[in-house]
Amino acid sequence: MSTRTPSAATDAPSDPAHASQLDVADALLTLLRDTGTEPRPDTQLEALTLAVAADLPVLLWGEPGIGKTAALTQLAATLDLPLTTVIASVHEPSDFSGLPVVGDDPAEQGIPMAPPDWAVRLVRAGKGLLFLDELSTAPPAVQAALLRLVLERRIGALRLPPGVRIVAAANPRSSAADGWELSPPLANRFVHLQWTHDHDVVVRGLGGTWPLATLPRLDPEKLPEAVAFARRAVCGLLAARPKLVHQLPGNETRRGGPWPSPRSWEMTLSLIAFATAAGSSRDVLSLLVRATVGDGPGLELLASLDRMDLPDPELLLADPTGVPLPDRGDLRQAVLDGVVDAVRRRPEKSRWDAAWTLLARALETGAPDLVVVPATTLATLRQEDWDVPATIEGLAGVVTLSRRADHAAARVAAKAGR
């Protein structure tokens, strides 16, 4: 009697025991994937949703495994947008510029550029979230082909519908596989958000509950005011600092990030309007502004936004005891300096007296050192026929004490330098 070893083909009949174990494994996987969401303050997630609502291309920068893809997957599911993921580094330039297709009469009709299948699916759906992953590993030729897609939403002869939003992700060159720096033209088309992990969010998410990603609630009544505020903020800064209109960084790495140009200032204006209409926090606005024009210009803009909310010096001179003063020290200092400057431009006895009344009030309600410089400057503006107001007596001691402290500090420094 001969024996025969079963082959792989004959040894693979369906085994109910094995099949049931696979079913159990699938059930376990389903349970592991079954997670929920909860409303939870998340600054970077709110910044992302605001940029998506503003229909601006967003680029998430972060180390591998930080959760960029998971955040976008959850965002697409919450917003009911079909997610289309395209790994930029594994595509050819023609995949984004379109493949030439010869028609019946090229001399008359030309040669159209056929779009890839994923672009066709997005057009048919009429909406979607296009996720361009691993952008920093795409070679320069592919980055060049992406320019038209990111800016004009065109792939070959096809135009993506308005309901499609574009979000990309990239790893820093130091942690990217065969990474490239982003070309300046491509980088200047994105809102660059630094994506970091929050310990509490990760722990609670692994426990089954992630933050809920929702589009911002825009107040319809605030829309005209938000647009006017954004235009006034950006135009006011650029009028005072014309060199900030366009500054191409000299460093190659910085060129691949956010930097100021007319295009990025336009994005900044849109984001300020959206953040204002949504009532977003200062932290969210800071992330968005620095993500479009960079840290330096962004911080200057944020400082100018603070000054926009300051009371008018003329109102303070007209009512030095009634108009509220800012609580923050730097803003209060700016207000007092502005009042003294207003008196300098139009020196009148009544205005000079009102400024002293305001300084006395600031001394009573805030840090004494904030009034030293404005009081010293205001004193130099006195004309011979102006009587000294009684309020100066309360300020004189503060100014004298400050000068003594400065002289003492100078003597200490002089001795230390010997």
CATH fold for the domain made of 36-211: Rossmann fold (3.40.50)
Is a pLDDT exceeding 70 seen at residue 197?
A: yes
Mean pLDDT of 402-410: 45
Residue 405 phi/psi, 5-degree rounding, is -65, -40
Q: What is the DSSP letter of 87?
A: E
Question: Is the pLDDT at 18 greater than 50, yes or no?
Answer: yes
Tokens encoding 232 = 């006034």
Q: Does the pTM exceed 0.85?
A: no
Could you tell me which residues are beta bridge partners of residue 159? Answer: 154
Q: What is the mean pLDDT of the chain?
A: 84
pLDDT tens track for 100-110: 776 666 666 66
**What's the pLDDT score for residue 404?**
46
Listed ranges 13-17, 162-166, 337-341, 402-406; the one with the highest mean pLDDT: 162-166
The residue ranges of DSSP E strands in 175-230, in sequence order, are: 191-194, 209-211
Least confident of 23-32, 210-219, 234-243, 354-363: 210-219
The values of phi and psi at residue 296, to 5°, are -60, -60
Do the Cβ atoms of 66 and 171 come closer than 8 Å? no
pLDDT band at 177 (very low <50, low <70, confident <90, very high): low
Cβ-based neighbour number of residue 108 at 10 Å: 7
Least confident among 106-120, 150-164, 196-210: 106-120
Residue 189 burial by CB count (10 A; 0-12/13-18/19+): exposed, middle or buried? Answer: buried
Residue 53 has pLDDT above 50, yes or no: yes
Q: Which amino acid is at 305?
A: L
How confident is the model at residue 232, as a pLDDT? 92
Structure tokens at 43: 């600054």
Domain ranges of the chain: 36-211, 220-308, 313-416
For residue 50, the model assigns a pLDDT of: 95
Could you tell me the two tokens for 204?
Answer: 């609670």
C-alpha–C-alpha distance, residues 270 and 226, integer Å = 9
pLDDT of residue 396: 65
Q: What is residue 2's predicted lDDT score, i.e. its pLDDT?
A: 46
The residue among 311 and 414 whose pLDDT is bigger is 311
- The pLDDT value given to residue 171: 85
CA 98 to CA 112: how far, in whole Å?
A: 8
Contacts of 334 (CB under 8 A, 6+ apart): 307, 310
Q: Which of 14-23, 238-247, 291-300 has the highest mean pLDDT?
A: 291-300
